[in-house]
Every structure is written in C-alpha cells, then in structure tokens.
Amino acid sequence: MTSVALLRQITDYANRPDPYPLYAELRKTPVVRDEDGPYLVSTYWEIKSLLHDPRVSSDARNLTPEAARGTDLEQDPNLPPAFIRLDPPEHDRLRRLAMRPFGPPHTPRRVFDMHGELTEIVSGLIDALRDRDAIDLVDDFSYPFPVTVICRLLGVPREDEKHFHEWADTIAASLDPPGTDEERQAQQESLRQARGDLAAYLAGLVEERRRAPRDDMLSAMATDHGPDGQMSPVEIITTAALLLVAGHETTVNLITNGMLTLLRNPDVLQRLRSDPGLAVPLVEELLRFEPPVQMLPQRTTLADIDIAGTIIPKGAPLYLMVASGSRDPQRFTDPDRFIPDRTDNQHLGFGHGLHNCFGAPLARLEAQLALTELVRRLDAPRLVEDPPPYRRNAVLRGPRHLPLTVSGIR
C-alpha cells in the first residue's frame, strides 16, 4: 500500500478508535512515500534519529514550493511562527526566554510549587460531581482541569475561555493533513481567522500585564530582562498562543485516554487505587500506549537524507509517526500490551531532541494527580460505551466524550 493510501486510512475518522493495526502495517516499510505525498517514518530508531538530526527542520518555510502548496497552512506575514515551528538559533532563544519564569533550566520549580494548587482544582472538580450518577469525564473533568491550570499559569482569565476555546480547537485541528483542495481552502481561511482573533485577544492582555504586571507568565514575558534580552511584542503573542493551545488540547486527551484504559483494565485500576505510587510509571506507559500526540506532521529536510535505505530529498515534507514508533516491537517488548509498571520506557509521547515537550513536567504531574484522585474518589465507575465517540482530530487524538456511570463520590 502507498503511504498516501495509508495516511488516508489513518486520518479516516472510522479508524480513530484504533489506528494501531494501521501503524503495524506502516512499520513494514520504515520510510514510505507516494508520488506527491509526504514521507512517513514509522519505526522507533528512524524517528528518534530524525528528531536529533540538524538536517531536519521544523520551519515550514524550508519546504519546496510544491511541497508547501500541499501541506503548509502557515504563513501569515504579520504573525511569524511560534518556536515549535522554528529552528535554532531563534528556537533556542525563544524557548529559553519562555522557560525563565519556570525557574532555572531543567528544574521546573514553578511546576512543583503548583502541586497544592493543582490538587485543589482536582478536588473542586470532583466535589462538584456529588449527587450525579452519570458524568462525561471530558466535559466535567479532563477539559476544565488543564485549561484552568494553563490559564492561571499564563495569567489568562478563565472566564474568557468561552471566547478562545473555539480558536484553540481550530488551530489544533489544522495540524491534521489537509483533505481535498476545497477542504484545504476552507481550513486555511478559518485558521487565519482563528489565529488573528487569538492574537488580537492576547495582544490586549499582554498590554495590560506590561502596564500592571502580576505573578504570571504573560507578565514575566512582557517585563523580563535576562541574558537573552526581551521577547518582542509579536514573539510574546505567538509564544502565549502556543502555550495556550498546547496546554488545552493535549493533557485533556492524556487524562481521558488514561481513564478509558483503566476502565478497560479493571485490575490495573484496582492496583492504582491501593498504590498511588503506580501513577508515575503508569502515566509513562499511557504516553507510549495511547499518546495524545499521534504524529509530528511538520518537519522538512534541509539536505538529502539517507534513512533506512531511502533517500529523502531536500525540502520534502516528513511525517514522524511517533505513536507508531512507541509501539515498535524492535524497541519495546510486547508493545501492544499495557504494562503499567513497564521499565525501560523511553517512549516518543513528548517527542525528543530540541523540540521535546516544554510542558512535560506539568502534563505528567497533572495526569498523575488526576488519575490517582479519580480512581480514589469515583465509586464503581463504568464505561457507558466502548469505544467512546472520538474527536475528529487524527494528530491530537482522544475521545470527545467519555460517558461514565458512578454509584457515588467518596
């Protein structure tokens, strides 16, 4: 089968509940390409090596014009890419600047300081479920929790969420491979609109924080003077938009996929209930087994690269199929089994290399706390339907709803 046929199957909504057999098919040829489609890389070692290869760019401006026409939904000249879509040295400068409010590099102090605050938010959301015997885990818990956290961290008023959640959804959906030309055009138009609206909204807030700083990331980015100087106003806006969208659209799926997996494996749910320490390796296993980010669709080559015997030419679009890599039997023993205390678990769930997830310490802590508290406090939770209804997105994959019945809240 060609890569495009497989990519079309992977993005086909009918396969959203279980794309993993398609990845197994894909891994038979580590690098595949159809005539005018992107190169799909699906095996662990090849993906990892490309994620560490300086000849691989995250900046869509390096695509050849023909490749850009097919895949690039980017460029608004007034709004340059955020650092997830930039290469060194700009990437490194902006990532360092964004990291400063978190504390010294590699010690995300601010995240550990948030433990009490996170517990309080989780408890409040679960308390609100008292007197209910049916809940939708997504709307009642998995979505409001990380959104409240990222809003507080950035200093974005939580009550404004009703305005920006649609913009964030549109931006997240734009990561998916475009369909027909018409779909692509419609997608481009709504993306431009959503980006513009979000940028205008954030510009107003940044200005407020510059005049009257508070203890939040927007204020820190607007007033900081460190060894790297300052972010420009546009850089603050694109960085804040990146953090807002990343903090919105990923952790929700990790928590929901986590609860779904636990309910499908009641013995593991029971183990977590009696041993909360299991949450740490269990969340790593979830990031391997049911990762919220299924593929990294936005890479391109800066030179011809020979990988697994295929030459990927300069300027070609690359899709790194990280969810497939994390199930590669060449790397993981028994990869299709969920083993909550798996050791040697260097999954690709947070990417790897210089773009590895900036929010990983926060996302890990959120998921560990959420799952531990949900299994401790929900009495006899049961799935109403399996599989549940999924979001349309293939790249940021997860259930749209997770209806559960419970016999009470402890």
One DSSP character per residue, 208-242 reads HHHHS--SSHHHHHHH--BTTB---HHHHHHHHHH
Q: What is the per-residue burial (b if ≥16 Cβ within 10 Å, else e) of 358-393?
A: bbebbbbbbbbbbbbbbbebbeebebeeeebebbeb
The DSSP bridge partners found for residue 229 are 226
Residues recorded for the chain: 410
x/- letters, 304..343, toward ligand HEM (CB under 6 A): ----------------------------------------
What tokens appear for 93 in the block? 């400068």
DSSP state of 276: G
Which residue lies nearer to ligand HEM by CB, 84 or 305? 84
The answer to whether 349 contacts ligand HEM (rule: CB under 6 A) is yes
Closest CA relative to residue 395, chosen from 250, 224, 218: 250
Pairing between β-strand 39-41 and β-strand 317-320 as defined by DSSP bridges? parallel
x/- letters, 225..244, toward ligand HEM (CB under 6 A): -----------------xx-
Which residue lies nearer to ligand HEM by CB, 2 or 112? 112
Give the phi and the psi of residue 81 in degrees, each rounded to 5.
Answer: -65, 150
Within 8 A by CB and 6+ apart from 47, the residues are: 41, 320, 321, 322, 325, 348, 352
Which position's Cβ is nearest ligand HEM? 359
The answer to whether 350 contacts ligand HEM (rule: CB under 6 A) is yes
Whether omega before 387 lies within 30 degrees of 0, making that bond cis, reads: yes
The answer to whether 38 contacts ligand HEM (rule: CB under 6 A) is no
Q: How far is the CB of 8 from ligand HEM (least distance, A)?
A: 22
Q: What is the per-residue burial (b if ≥16 Cβ within 10 Å, else e) of 215-252?
A: ebbbbbbbebeeeeeebeeebbbbbbbbbbbbbbbbbb
**Positions 114 through 133 that interact with ligand HEM (CB under 6 A):** none
Q: How far is the CB of 250 from ligand HEM (least distance, A)?
A: 3
**Segment near ligand HEM (CB under 6 A); pick from 17-25, 202-210, 267-275, 352-360:** 352-360
Distance CA 196, CA 76 (A): 9
Q: How far is the CB of 229 from ligand HEM (least distance, A)?
A: 19
Give the phi and the psi of residue 97 in degrees, each rounded to 5.
Answer: -65, -40
Which residue lies nearer to ligand HEM by CB, 30 or 108? 108
Q: How far is the CB of 96 from ligand HEM (least distance, A)?
A: 10
Question: Is 376 in contact with 410 (CB distance < 8 Å)?
Answer: yes
Which residue lies nearer to ligand HEM by CB, 126 or 293? 293
Residue with tokens 């974005």: 156
Q: Contacting ligand HEM (CB under 6 A), which of 60, 121, 296, 395?
A: 296
Distance CA 96, CA 235 (A): 13
The answer to whether 44 contacts ligand HEM (rule: CB under 6 A) is no
Q: How far is the CB of 322 from ligand HEM (least distance, A)?
A: 6
Within 8 A by CB and 6+ apart from 54, the residues are: 302
In angstroms, the Cα distances linking 130 to 257, 409, 410 are 23, 6, 9
Q: How far is the CB of 181 from ligand HEM (least distance, A)?
A: 26
The answer to whether 370 contacts ligand HEM (rule: CB under 6 A) is no
Which residue lies nearer to ligand HEM by CB, 67 or 320? 320
**Positions 72 through 101 that interact with ligand HEM (CB under 6 A):** 83-84, 95
Q: How far is the CB of 42 from ligand HEM (least distance, A)?
A: 15
Closest CA relative to residue 257, chosen from 7, 6, 16: 16
Q: How far is the CB of 355 from ligand HEM (least distance, A)?
A: 3
The answer to whether 293 contacts ligand HEM (rule: CB under 6 A) is yes
**Segment near ligand HEM (CB under 6 A); pick from 26-34, 122-130, 198-206, 246-254:** 246-254
**Positions 252 through 281 that interact with ligand HEM (CB under 6 A):** 254
What tokens appear for 220 in the block? 């820190």
The answer to whether 292 contacts ligand HEM (rule: CB under 6 A) is yes
Distance CA 154, CA 110 (A): 12
Q: Contacting ligand HEM (CB under 6 A), which of 362, 369, 370, 378?
A: 362
**Segment near ligand HEM (CB under 6 A); pick from 268-276, 330-338, 357-365, 374-382:** 357-365
Which residue lies nearer to ligand HEM by CB, 289 or 350? 350
> In the complex, which residues of this chain contact ligand HEM (CB under 6 A)?
58, 83-84, 95, 150, 242-243, 246-247, 250-251, 254, 292-293, 296, 349-351, 355, 357-359, 362-363
